[in-house]
Amino acid sequence: MKRKYSSSDSDNNYPASNIKKRRECSLSEGQKRIAEVVIPELLAEGSIHHVKSGVDILFNTPKKVDHLLGYTNYKPFLWAIEHDNLELMEYFINRATERGKFLLVCHNNYEVIEQFIDLIAEKINKGYYRREITTDILKLFISIKPLQTIEAIEHIFESIGGETQKVVRILKINLQDAIDKLAKEDNKDIKEYLEEKKGEDKSTLESDRQSTSERKFTAKLNSSDDKSFCSQIKQNVSFVIQL
């Protein structure tokens, strides 16, 4: 799916230069083989239980899980997205460090989210899109640094044009569903986002009302059918000038 814009990270805690730069891998040769060969084979067979068991034993700390995901370029997580396996996505997120969780969604300019959107577009076109699981995956994404992730997703939506606007309209509904679900869970960041959005919407509405009033006033001034109104305005202006 072609885009005219690519979102970038602006978080002060994780500057973009740090995010794009891959850290030196600290995996052993055995762990590398598990990451490169064994896990992909188990995923291809659908043996999710064995994948989890292997990770629990060989990558048994949050930092090791971070190294595993970074070394594989997040392929196990992408596999989970592609196969609508929310359980496996949650598994990796829950075992990563806070920084690792953030990198899951924001690495390489939010590549995971862009691939997810491309995947949903394909599912919509092929007729096997599922609203509930799509909403739940988006909810999982935005639960990680909600304000920044929502902003990134909205930027990606804005960058999509042409025939894929249908996909954007559907995904906007999913995103709002996901936001509403997190709000019901008393997510502090989501509540802050909704309050800010409410203020912005109110300001926009007031601005639109003022613009409408100004247009109506100008139209009336320019109307050839209401010369008496124009004459009255001119008289008032002349009176003020004389004063």
- Percent of the chain at pLDDT exceeding 70: 71
Q: Is residue 175 part of a domain?
A: yes
CA distance 55 to 43: 13
Residue 23 counted as domain residue: yes
On the question of pLDDT at 21 being above 50, the answer is: no
Q: What is the pLDDT of residue 17?
A: 37
Whether 82 and 152 map to the same domain: the answer is no
In this structure, what is the dihedral angle of CA atoms 105, 20, 94, 182, given to the nearest 10 degrees?
A: -30
Q: Mind listing the pLDDT tens digit for each residue in 71-89?
A: 999 999 999 999 999 999 9
pTM above 0.75, yes or no: no
Top mean pLDDT of 52-56, 192-196, 235-239 is at 52-56
Residue 167 lies in a domain: yes
Give domain status of residue 92, yes or no.
yes
Which of the pair, 227 or 210, is modelled with greater confidence? Answer: 210
User: Do the domain assignments include residue 114?
Assistant: no
Does residue 139 lie in a domain region?
yes
Tell me, yes or no, whether 200 and 138 share the same domain: yes
Q: Are 92 and 137 members of one domain?
A: no
Q: Is residue 215 part of a domain?
A: no
Residue 69, pLDDT > 90, answer: yes
65 alpha carbon, distance to own chain's centre: 23
Higher pLDDT, 232 or 19: 232
The verdict on 84 and 134 lying in the same domain is no
Q: Answer yes or no: is 160 within a domain.
A: yes
In the block, which residue shows the tokens 């891998």? Answer: 25
Domain total of the chain: 2
Could you tell me the end-to-end alpha-carbon distance of the chain, in angstroms, rounded to an integer?
66
* Domain extent at residue 163: 129-210
